A and B are shown apart, each in its own frame.
Chain A
Amino acid sequence: MQPSGKHAKIALVGNPNSGKSSLFNYLTGLNQKTGNFPGVTVEKRTGFSKMPEGHQAQFIDLPGVYSLYPRSLDEQIVSETLLNDKSPDYPDAVVVIVDATNLKRSLLLVTQIIDLGLPVVLALNMMDLVAKKQISYNLAEMTQQLGVPVVPMNARTGMGVDDLKNVLSKPVAPSGKSIFPVFDEAKAGVQELREALYINNDYKAYQFLQQPNTLSFLKQEDVDLIHRVKEKYQFFPGKFHGAETVQRYSFIQSLLDSVTTQPSAERKTSRSTLFDKVLTHRVWGYAIFLGILFLIFQAIFAWATVPMDFIDGLFASLSNYLSETLPDGPLTRMLAEGVVPGIGGIVIFIPQIAILFAFISILEESGYMARVVFLMDKIMRKFGLSGKSVVPLISGVACAIPAIMATRTIDNWKERIITILVTPLMSCAARLPVFTILIALIVPEKMVYGFFNLQGLALMGLYLLGVAAVLLSAVVIKMLINVKERSYLIMEMPMYRWPKWSNVGYTIYDKTKSFVFEAGKVILAIAIVLWVLASYGPGDYQENAEAYILQETENLELTEQDMEDRVAAFKLEHSYAGILGKSIEPVIRPLGYDWKIGIALVTSFAAREVFVGTMATIYSIGSEEDQTTIKSRMKAEINPETGGPRYTPAVGFSLLVFYTFAMQCMSTLAVVYRETKGWKWPMIQLVYMTVLAYISAFAVFQLLS
C-alpha cells in the first residue's frame, strides 16, 4: 500500500509487556505528543520519526492487547482503529511487536491482524533473551509461512530498529495469506455484509458480525443491518469465537514446530521465580510493598523540598524585583502579585510530580506492579474493588486524572465505578503543596528515633488517612450499588527486568509537561482572576481606604508601617474576594476558618493546588515591602480574635483533613463525566466527598480546640 497523504501512518500494536513503548520511544524520541482518541480519554501517543529516505513517518502507539476481541474499553480502541478504514488514525501499515520469548501467545494477535488484510511487519522483540535461552528461530521460514516481513530486534538497545525503518520505508504489501478462512457456515453472511457495506476483506466483515455492538464507529443503521444478517444466517458469535481461537492456535503450533530450535531440557527455575518467592511471600511480600510505599513518601518529602524551597524563594524574589524596578501601576501589581506567584504555584509542583512518576514508572517497567495486583486482589475484592484497582489507586497518588483513565483496564463495571468514585480520595500531588505548607506550619521539624522525620511521618499519616477513606467509602458504595456482574482477573505476570531508564525519563517528561501546560493554564487563569477579585471591590472603599482608616483610628497613634498594614487589610476585606469569603464565613466558621481561608476554599474548588497560590496572593497584597516566602507570611498571620497565630494546630489539622477528603478538582469531575458518560456519577462523587470533608474537618477542629 502506498503511503497516503504526505507521510505514512504506522500503527504499533502488541501485547502488554511486549516492549511496544520502548520501541515507540526509540523511534520518536522527544518528538512525540500525547492526546486522546476521539470521544474517549484513552491516552493516544503519536510521534514522528525520520525514515531512511529522509521523509517522516507518523507512528501511533495503540494500547496493549492480546486479541482483536476486546474485554475492556482500553482494548476496544485497537479493534476500532484497525477495523474502521474511515478513522483518521487508520494506518497505512501495522508493526506488530511481539515478545519473542513468548511467541505462541503473541502470534494470536499477529494472525488476526494479518487476516484483516492490513500490511503487517512483524517485529520480534527481546531477541537477546531468546539467545540467552538458546532458542533460535528460522526467520525465513516464518516470513514464508506468515507472508509478512519479520524483523528481529531488541527495542531496549535499539538493535534492529534501523532494519525495521528500512522495511517500512518501502511500501509494505498485505500478506495475502489467509490464516483463518471464515467458517463455511458464516461465508454467506460475510458475503452479504461485504456487498452491503463495501467491505474489502472477509475477516473484517466477519469481525463486524462477531461484535457489532463493541465497534462504536458503526452507524445505527449498519448495526441493525448486521443484526438482520446474523439472524438470517443463524450466526452464533460465542461458538465461532472459541473455534476460531483453537484453529489459530493449531496454525501457530505447527508454525512454531517448524521454525523453532531449542535445547531439549526445559529450563528450571528462572530468576523471576526466585524473585517471586520473596516478593509474593506472605510476610516479605507485604513488608516490601509497604516499605516501597514508605520510601516513596519519604523521598517526596525529603528530596522535593530542597528544589521546592528554591523555587518558592526564586519566585518571591522575582516578584519583589518586578515591583521594585517597574513603575508602580495596576499592570505591575498584577504581574508581581498575580501572574508571577501564579506561575510559581505551578512550577513548584514539578519536583514532586517528577519524583512520583519516576517511582510509578519504575514499578511498572520492572514488572513489580503486576505482583502488587496479585498480592492485593483478594484484599481489594473484600472492599468491592479488584486487584487491578491498585494501579489506578497508586497512580492516584500522582494525579487522579490519569488514574481514572487507568481504570479502563478493569473489565467489571461495578469494580470500575467504585474505583473511579474512590480514587480522588487518594492524596494526589496537587494536595502535596497544601499538605507541605500546612505541615511545615504546625508540625515541628524534628527527628524521631534518629531517622524518621516527624513532618514526613505526618505526611505519611495523611496519605494513610486517604487510603482508609478509600477503603471505607468503597465498602459503603459496594453495598449501595446493587449489580451482579461477573468479575475476573486473568493477567499476565511479566518477567522481572531492569527498568529501561530512558522509558522512565520519557514518562516523567511527558507527565510533567502535560501537568504544566494543561493544569497550569487553569491555575494561572485562576491566579489572575483571583488577583483582580482581591484588588478591586464595589463602592469607594478601595480608593479611599486610607481616609476610612484615619476616620476609624482618629485617637490612635499609628506608625507608618501599622497604617500601611491596616490599609492593606481593609482593602482586602472590602474587595470582591473579601466579600465572597465573608459570605461563606458562617458556613466554615465551625471548621475554624476565617474569610481569608474561605477565599482559598472557593478558589481551590477549581484545583486544590490553587490554595497555596491563593495564600500567596492574599497575603502578599499590599505588603510589597517584605516579599518573603509564603510560609513565613502565613506564620505571621494573626487571628484578631485570640491575638495568637491564625494557623493553630486545630485550624491546621482541620484544613489538612478537609483537603484530604474534599473533591476539589474540576478536571477530575470532567474526566469522571467523560468516563461514565453522564453527570450522575461525578455529582454523586462531589456530594459525598464534600460532605465527608466538612464533617471530618468539623470534628477535628472541635476536638482539638
Chain B
Amino acid sequence: MKENYDIVIIGGGPAGLAAAVSAYDNGAKNILILEREPRLGGILNQCIHNGFGLTRFKESLSGPEYAYRFIKEVEARDIDVLLNTTVLSLEDNKTITAINSEYGVFSITPKAVILSMGCRERSRGALNIPGSRPAGIYSAGTAQKYVNIKGYLPGKRVVILGSGDIGLIMARRMTLEGAKVLAVCEIMPYSSGLRRNIEQCLNDFNIPLYLNHTITKIEGTSRVTGVVVSKVDENKQPIEGTEMHFDCDTVLFSVGLIPENELTKGAGIEQSRNTRGAVVYQNRETMIDGIFACGNVLQVHDLVDFVSEESEIAGACAANYVLNGRQEHNPISCINGDNISYVLPQKIDKNIPGNVKLFFRVRNTFKHCKIVVESNGVVLQEKKKLICVPGEMETVILSSDVIAKAEGDIVVRLEC
C-alpha cells in the first residue's frame, strides 16, 4: 500500500472492477481497490448460473466467468488491491478508515472516492412474519453462498418467499442438489423475476408459483417444521380461510435488495428516498465533490452488464476529476412523475457535455403506454412502449440538444 492514492474504490465487485479499469484507462494511474472478501468479484463468485454478459460480451457466461473478464483487466494494469479489508467509515473530506490484519486500522485520504459497495438482501425482520426464531431461515443469497461456495445444502424441504431472480435461481439450484422445493410464494400479482427464470427455474421442475400469496406463519422452535401460506387481497392483507400448510425444514427469503449505504450515510452524502442510494449527477458524482457512486449501491440493476456500463462512467469521470479538478456545476433536477418510481441520475449538470441516459422504473405493469419526458409542461421527448413492468429497468437517452431545451426540472412520467 502507498501513502497516497488519487482514487480509492470501495468494493471489488463488478462495479468496483469496471470503475477501476475505466479510471485507469482515462488517465488516473494511482488507484486502490478495497475489498472485504478474500477475493475480487463480489457476489458474482457465488452466482454460478449462466446468463451473464449477453449484452456486453454477446455470450452467456456464469458469474465467476464474467467477474474474471474484469479481474484479468485489473491485473493487467498497475492497480493496487487490498483484500480482506473492511472499510469502517468515510468522511465528507474523503478520509477512509479501514481495517485488515496486515495494517490494522488505517486511514487514507484520496483525491476521489468511488462507492461500489453493492447491495444487500431485505431480511425477514423487514416483513414482520409471526413465529419464533428457529434454524432454517435464510435469505436466498445466504443459501446460495452455502450451496455454491461452502458446499452445504441448507435444507431438504424448502418454501421460498418472494419470486425475485435470486429466489428463482435458488429454487432450481436446491432442486438440482436434491432438495424438494414445495412452493414459491409472491405477494404481488406478478413475479419480479425475469420470465426466463420462471420458465427454466420453476416450470422445468414443476415448482408451483403462488402469486398473491405470502407466508403468514413460520412454525418450529429449534428448527423450522412448517409454514402457513395465505392468499392476500388487493391491499396485500391475508384472507382468512385461504391458509395452506406446508411441512418444510427451510424457508428462503427473496424479497428485494437494498443498496448498502451505511458508509454513504456516515459521510453525510445526500441520498434519494426512492432509490435508497446517493443522489448523483449524470457523471455519477454525488453531491459531495469527488465522491462518486456506481452499480447496485446506487440503484439495484437487473443485469450485471448495466452495472459495468454505469461503473465505467463513474470511473472515467473520477479520473477526469483527479486530472482536471473540480468543475462548476449547473444542475437541473430529474423528477419521477406519474407511474414512475424513480429516475437516475437525479440531477443533470448542464455544464457536462454529451447525451444523458436516464434510468427509471415504472410502478406497475402497463401495456401500450408512452414514456413522456417534459420540462415546464413542454414535452421534450416521447417513447412508446408495448409493455412496461416494474421488474425491468427502462431507459431514455436525452441528447445534449434536448437537455439544452429544458428550462427547468425534467419530469419523466408514464401515460397510459
Whether chains A and B associate is no
Contacts from A to B (Cβ < 8 Å) = none
